[in-house]
Structure 1
Amino acid sequence: MPSSVRTKDFVSMLDFEPAELEACLSLAARVKRDRILGKKAPTANALGGAHVALIFEKPSLRTISTFEIAVRELGGDVITPFPVAALSEREPAVDVARNLERWVKCVVMRTFAHSTLLEFATAAPRLHVVNALSDMEHPCQALADLQTMKEVWGDWKGRTVTFVGDGNNVATSLAHGAVMLGTTFHIASPEGYELPANVVEQATRAARHGAQIRLFRDPLEAVTGADAVYTDVWTSMGQEAEAAARKRAFEGYQVTTGMMRRANDRAVFMHCLPAHRNEEVAPEVFESPVSVVFDQAENRLHSQKALLLTLMASRAAAA
């Protein structure tokens, strides 16, 4: 059973200390190994029938599927009290939180506004709140990314991951998590789409083991010598009206075979999915042997099981 962490929630990657993050990822590796080997895992009833509510204001494939499987494989149960995009249509989010606190142990929430997660966490102090994606951060994706990097590299320290594209929620959480574990984070973005200054400041303060965060305009310069090259869609959910302008702005930021050649000889290609081939990534890169995108997707399950165990099971054992 994992040791207790200082936070009840996982709204941001920065909710974990570096040692807590590393412990969670070590646990993810163990639960993955047990599942692959078909072993009767000691965590099979770790949640003891606890209910977890899934609230998604945006569509999801990987996140909602893997959380449902994770909860059930840990001996919990899932409820979905709202259809997609229905939160707060009938009552304030804080009232929803205070109701759910009486019935469930955890809420996994995908929301347009990061502030909604913070409202839930504050209004319901006995409820675990997990960020399944907001406009500001996507820490559950970063957990799976970091697990995948460890599998490929053996260790995070002294490595470099380069993010090519929008300084968005995925980039924010990956920047935080990477530098906490000793991996230098590069990001190349066009003007107006940079990683926010406060995120750069947070990552700089959180960096350990000599890791740095560096911003670039030129993607070829940013990927030079990188151990992983990461990208995401140019237009995220809710930004459809900006699609044409974004496509123009990100011209030259497609991850191509030529760009990958600038990276380390053993560099891998990463993407959080869904991917738009011929936009942010060339099809031959996406389908190449260096692509680990479906390893990342698989690790969503294992890392989220470890997260639930870290937040919920340790507290249940201590109660």
Structure 2
Amino acid sequence: MQTLFRGKHFVTLRDWSQDEVETLLRVSMQLKMDFAMGKINDMLKNQTIFLMFFEQSTRTRNSMEAGITQLGGHAHFLDTSTMQVSHGETAKDTAIILGRMGHAIACRYCNWGYGNKYINEMAKWSPVPVMNLQCDLYHPMQAIADLMTIHEKFGTTKKLKVSIIWAYAESHKKPISVPLSQVLFFPRFGMEVVLAHPKGWELPDWVIAEAKANAERYGGSVTVTDDEAYAYKDAHIVIPKNWGNWVTDQTGLTTTGAVKVVDDKLMAHKAWKCTEEKIATADRDVVYMHALPADRNNEVEDSVIDGPHSIVYDEAENRLHTAKAVMALTMGGRGR
């Protein structure tokens, strides 16, 4: 099957086929090897990507900026508070104008009920590829880096028990986009996914339905539970991470939920923390993953995130290589 990548948007991995994802992984691996060997890849020489951020960022911004530089291009960091977006300029107008000035647009916008709609509106009108750097629903850049990391560590994804576990945090009200993307994506690669969270932190119903359909099609499984101990038991991969509790309708797109970051309902689940004791119940060779930043000593003990089972820095590094692959394919790739 011939796959054309040039100009393809990267808004959600739901729009990327298995073949396309496999190509993306292979390119990521090759670019990582080239980077390690000091090989210059200036395949995007003199190309410009605009990076629009409505929120703060460390890994995402720097993986994109460093990545495009290493490919011979240049990134313009755009703080949207200093753009005319802050005065009401539409996604359509912004996308068309930036698209005529450069070669790609990337955007992070996590405001619940608005972010994904905004990025899709830009993709509708943009003459160049649009990349989602995280919205209220999806974080495809994180999910593809996670998949690459799992491939590296295990050599396969089949029949791995991967537990995505809600964890207590006080730092800020974190979007659901990371666990949502993982729950949808991992079953496509034969993983046995467990989603564990206290009652009240459910993901939208359509997410679970689609994840189970993916599992049935590709030989994985999806289990949803409020039993934290079950999630850790014999797991090959644990991903304990906080996400906000959202009150959703059947489409999962309403905007109401807990307003405060820390409230009585959250405090009642302070025991949902990744500890050495819980890690000890997992597989002997279990790995601990986290998209970072972790709320240390709330989400996870230091002895775990800094311990022998943690691969969070490898996972974070792979954000560079997968970001480069996304840009190389969508801004320059003609096919395979």
Normalising by structure 2, report the TM-score: 0.86
Q: Determine which of 297, 307, 313 is the counterpart of 1:278.
A: 297
* Counterpart-to-counterpart distance in 1, 2:274 and 2:6: 39
Name whichever of 306-315 and 130-139 sits farther off. Answer: 306-315
Distance across 2 between alignment mates of 1:85 and 1:138: 24
Are 1:66 and 2:85 counterparts?
no
For 1:33-112, list aligned pairs within 5 A. 33-40=33-40, 44-83=41-80, 86=83, 88-90=85-87, 91-111=89-109, 112=111
Do the aligned residues in 2 keep the contact of 1:54 with 1:108 (CA within 8 Å)?
yes
Q: 123, 131, 144: which is aligned to 2:125?
A: 123
- Cα deviation digits, residues 67-124 of structure 1 (max 9, x gap): 0011111121111243558562121122111111211221111002211111101122
| Equivalent residue number for residue 154 of structure 2 | 153
User: 2:299, 2:27 → 1: CA distance?
Assistant: 33
How far has the Cα of 1:204 moved from its partner? Answer: 2.1
Does the Cα contact within 8 Å between 2:176 and 2:243 map onto a contact in 1?
no
Distance in 2 (CA, whole Å) between partners of 1:33 and 1:94 is: 38
CA contact (8 A) 2:160 2:192 kept: yes
- Return structure 1 stretches of 4+ with deviation > 3 angstroms: 81-87, 233-236
**One-letter code aligned to 1:110:** R
Residues 1:139 and 2:140 are matched in the alignment: yes
| Correspondence 1:294 to 2:295 | no
In the alignment, structure 1 residue 233 sits paired with structure 2 residue 252: no
- Paired residues of 1:74 and 1:305 also in contact (CA < 8 A): yes
**Structure 1 pair 27–279 and aligned structure 2 pair: CA distance change class (3 A):** same
Unaligned runs of 5+ in 2: 168-174, 246-256
Report the counterpart of residue 216 of structure 1 in structure 2.
225
Please identify, of 191-200 and 202-211, the stretch whose mean Cα deviation from structure 2 is larger: 202-211
Query: Which segment is superposed worse, 203-212 or 31-40?
Result: 203-212
Q: Is the 8 A contact 1:3 1:310 kept in 2?
A: no
Q: Distance in 2 between matches of 1:307 and 1:227?
A: 28
In the alignment, the residues of structure 2 paired with residue 281 and residue 21 of structure 1 have an alpha-carbon distance, to the nearest angstrom, of 31
Cα distance in 2, alignment partners of residues 5 and 265 from structure 1: 40
Q: For the residues of structure 1 that align with 2:14 and 2:100, how far apart are their CA atoms?
A: 27
* Separation (CA, whole Å) in 2 of partners of 1:197 and 1:87: 36
TM-score normalised by L of structure 1: 0.90
274, 289, 297: which one aligns with 1:255: 274
**Greater mean alpha carbon deviation, residues 283-292 or residues 245-254:** 245-254
Aligned with 1:231: secondary structure?
Answer: strand
Distance 1:197 1:205 in 2: 13
Larger mean CA deviation between 4-13 and 17-26 belongs to: 4-13
Q: 1:5 and 1:239, CA in 2 relative to 1: closer, same or farther beyond 3 A?
A: farther
Where 1:88 maps in the other structure, the secondary structure is helix
Residue 191 (structure 2) aligned to one of 174, 178, 183 = 183
Q: 1:73 to 1:159 in 2, by over 3 A?
A: same
Q: Take 1:47 and 1:7, find their aligned partners in 2: how far apart are those partners?
A: 14
Q: Write the deviation string for residues 176-232 of structure 1: whole angstroms up to 9, x where unpaired.
A: 221112212111011111122111122223335410111010111122221100022
Is structure 2 residue 224 aligned with structure 1 residue 205?
no
Deviating more after overlay: 257-266 vs 51-60: 257-266
C-alpha spacing 1:6/1:305, structure 2 compared with 1 (3 Å): closer
Tell me the number of residue pairs that the alignment of Structure 1 and Structure 2 aligns: 311
Deviation at 1:246, TM superposition (A): 5.6
Contact 2:195 2:231 in 1 (8 A): yes
- For residues 49 and 34 of structure 2, the distance between their equivalents in structure 1, rounded to whole angstroms, comes to 23
Query: Could you tell me which residue of structure 2 aligns to residue 114 of structure 1?
Result: 116
Match of 1:266 in 2: 285
Aligned residue in 1 for 2:25: 25
Unaligned 5+ segments in structure 1 are: none
8 Å contact from structure 1 (residues 55, 87) kept in 2: no
Q: 2 CA distance for matches of 1:195 and 1:150? A: 26
C-alpha distance 86-262 of structure 1, shift in aligned 2 (>3 A): farther
